[in-house]
Amino acid sequence: MKDAYVIDLIQEFLQHIEIEMGRSLNTVRNYELYLTRFYEICSENLDHEMRPSEIDEEMLRKYRLKLNRYETDEHGSRLTATTQSYYLIALRGFLKYLARRGIKSLDPSLVDLPKTHRPQVTFLHYDEIQAMLDEIDLDTETGLRDRAIIELLFSGGLRVSELCQLNRSDINLERKEFVVRGKGSKDRPIFIDDSAAERIRDYLAVRHDSLPALFLNNSRNTGEAETNGDYRRLTPRSIERIISKYTRAAGITKHVTPHTLRHSFATDLLMNGADIRSVQAMLGHSNISTTQIYTHVTDPHLKDIHEKFHTETN
Q: Which residues are catalytic?
A: 159, 183, 259, 262, 285, 294
Is the Cβ–Cβ distance between 149 and 132 less than 8 Å? Answer: no
Is the Cβ–Cβ distance between 55 and 42 less than 8 Å? Answer: yes
Burial of 221 (0-12, 13-18, 19+ CB in 10 A): exposed
Alpha-carbon torsion angle 225, 226, 232, 235, nearest 10: -100
Q: Left (φ > 0), alpha (ψ -120 to 50) or beta: where does 115 sit? A: beta
**What does the alpha-carbon distance between residue 48 and residue 312 come to, in Å, rounded to a whole number?**
73
**What does the alpha-carbon distance between residue 203 and residue 198 come to, in Å, rounded to a whole number?**
9
In three-state form (DSSP H/G/I as H, E/B as E, the rest C), the secondary structure along 163-185 is HHCCEHHHCECCCCEEEEECHHH
Q: Left (φ > 0), alpha (ψ -120 to 50) or beta: where does 22 sit? A: left
